[in-house]
A and B are shown apart, each in its own frame.
Chain A
Amino acid sequence: AQTVTQSQPEMSVQEAETVTLSCTYDTSESNYYLFWYKQPPSRQMILVIRQEAYKQQNATENRFSVNFQKAAKSFSLKISDSQLGDTAMYFCAFMKHGGNAGNNRKLIWGLGTSLAVNP
């Protein structure tokens, strides 16, 4: 079974600085997807960035980038130029790739990292 571990329950960063959130996972699958979701106080779950395991290039979305180390099963999120609006819970999630099984869209979640951006 797949598991996702986020070892940092809480983190804080000063506005405009850079912060990295850690995520490791365990799987025997060779093809899968990894995601970072943001959950602000509004409770809405927002997709921040995604990575396909077969792609060696690390995904980037504006100020958000990942460091994907497939052999080490590590998927960290870097937030550059942190903004007050980045204050939220951040969840790392895993999903198996494709297939026709009914549960092929099941997400396996980490427990989250609470990030506070301080002015």
Chain B
Amino acid sequence: NAGVTQTPKFQVLKTGQSMTLQCAQDMNHEYMSWYRQDPGMGLRLIHYSVGAGITDQGEVPNGYNVSRSTTEDFPLRLLSAAPSQTSVYFCASSYAFGGSYEQYFGPGTRLTVT
């Protein structure tokens, strides 16, 4: 049982480049989300989804896009990377309605934008 997987684990980008952070889960969870973790700021919600084809914005969505074409995958796209997007990114999943409310986290992606 792989749980929540994220790739890559580390990434360095130049300002203006684009990239996609991958997230996948094998627990048939409806709810998936992306957080960023910054020193002194805690974790902040970027985007979330409650099922295939349904996404919505969190607290800090600017500069990021998401889509949810399958239950398993929830990629996060940086359209034009900026130094302010240097952070550690976590993907999490859980049941959306009923069932256990526990959220499972991926191992994180450390992104540096120079």
Report which A residues bind B (CB closer than 8 A).
33, 42-47, 50, 91, 95, 98, 100, 102-107, 109-112
Contacts and interface: CB of A to CB of B under 8 A. Distances in A.
Given A33-B101, A104-B96, A105-B94, A43 B107 contact: yes
Contacts of A45: 90, 92, 105, 108
A43 B42 contact: no
Contacts of B103: 47, 105, 107
B66 to A, nearest CB: 13
A9 B108 CA distance: 22
A46 B103 CA distance: 10
Given A42-B107, A105-B48, 11 more contacts: A43-B110, A45-B92, A46-B105, A91-B42, A98-B97, A102-B50, A104-B96, A106-B33, A107-B92, A111-B40, A111-B42
